[in-house]
């Protein structure tokens, strides 16, 4: 009976946490923007977006290079090296760019957001804002949430572009695939609305909302101790990664699976 009671308590706590996080998200979305909020939004765009560019570019280059190497090896077995550009582009645009960019974003920016907000809570900065009549949701949570939502889609597009160039660098320049076939095959097979808009941008918007929402909530609701901040930061990365992979399956099934 104790085990059943413990399980029920954990389930209730998780459901309650989801409800509180949803209410926080709705309050942030419904709050009216201010000029100061716009300035904070631009600053947070720099912190979570621009500061993540290096890891996105380096990862995209190497993943594109590996794709070019593997795809060339597989396609050359069947004499289909001309399909190299198509294979690299569709793999990146539909799957790898939004998913890997979201996982990197959760590990780099999401964990930083959770730790920062958690530290503000531990040092009583959030409660001090409430005492002087400043809403922490508008001042702290809202700029970071919107910055994450708008940053990740741009990072995913950059990831895809760099990955395509990495595939070209290895497949064409090093392994000798035809450059004209690489670009023409990509041009004839990639559709903007289906592959770029749905596959990369819309997926990235969904992943950005999930990752940033989890990050700011975990920081806002964490236990205000060093151990609590560490636990919330770990939860941010784990929960975000699992949600990205799970929602990727759902979105792929809806967009490309005919469901």
Token duo for residue 118: 């958690």
CA–CA separation, 201 and 134 (whole Å)? 34
What pLDDT, in 10s, does the model give residues 104-134? 999 999 999 999 999 988 888 888 888 888 8
Backbone angles phi, psi at 169, to 5 degrees: -60, -45
Q: Average pLDDT for residues 64-73, to the nearest whole number?
A: 92
CA–CA separation, 213 and 206 (whole Å)? 11
pLDDT over 90 at 99, yes or no = yes
Percent of the chain at pLDDT above 90?
52
79 backbone φψ class: left, alpha, beta (φ>0; ψ -120 to 50)? left
3-state secondary structure (DSSP) of residue 19: helix
Instruction: List the one residue out of 95, 60, 88, 92 whose CA is nearest residue 73.
Output: 88
- Are the CB atoms for 149 and 209 separated by under 8 Å? yes
- Are the CB atoms for 7 and 15 separated by under 8 Å? no
Where do the structural domains in the chain lie, given as residue ranges? Answer: 1-30, 36-257
The predicted pLDDT at position 259 comes to 56
Token duo for residue 127: 């409660």
pLDDT band at 221 (very low <50, low <70, confident <90, very high): confident
CA–CA separation, 185 and 142 (whole Å)? 43
pLDDT over 70 at 39, yes or no = yes
The predicted pLDDT at position 62 comes to 95
The number of C-alpha atoms within 13 Å of 114 and in the hemisphere containing its C-beta is: 32
pLDDT band at 79 (very low <50, low <70, confident <90, very high): confident
- Are the CB atoms for 163 and 60 separated by under 8 Å? yes
- Least confident segment among 111-115, 134-138, 168-172, 218-222: 134-138
pLDDT band at 245 (very low <50, low <70, confident <90, very high): very high
């Amino acid at each position: 009976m104790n085990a059943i009671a413990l399980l029920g308590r954990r389930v209730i706590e998780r459901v309650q946490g989801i409800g509180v996080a949803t209410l926080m998200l709705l309050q942030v979305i419904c709050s009216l923007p201010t000029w100061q909020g716009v300035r904070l939004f631009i600053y947070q765009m720099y912190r979570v977006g621009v500061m993540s560019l290096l890891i996105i570019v380096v990862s995209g280059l190497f993943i594109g290079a590996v794709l070019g190497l593997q795809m060339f090896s597989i396609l050359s077995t069947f004499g289909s090296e001309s399909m190299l550009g198509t294979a690299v582009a569709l793999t990146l645009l539909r799957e790898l760019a939004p998913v890997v960019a979201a996982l990197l974003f959760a590990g780099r920016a999401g964990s930083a957001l959770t730790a920062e907000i958690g530290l503000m809570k531990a040092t009583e900065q959030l409660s001090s804002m409430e005492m002087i009549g400043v809403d922490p949701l508008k001042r702290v949570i809202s700029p970071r949430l919107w910055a994450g939502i708008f940053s990740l889609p741009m990072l995913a597009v950059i990831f895809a572009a760099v990955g395509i160039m990495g595939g070209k660098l290895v497949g064409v320049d090093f392994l000798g695939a035809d450059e004209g076939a690489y670009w023409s095959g990509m041009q004839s097979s990639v559709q903007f609305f289906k592959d770029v808009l749905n596959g990369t941008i819309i997926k990235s918007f969904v992943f950005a909302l999930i990752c940033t929402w989890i990050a700011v909530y975990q920081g806002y609701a964490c236990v205000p101790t060093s151990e609590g901040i560490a636990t919330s930061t770990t939860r941010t990365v784990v929960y975000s990664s699992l949600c990205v992979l799970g929602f990727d399956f759902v979105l792929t099934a809806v967009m490309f699976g005919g469901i």
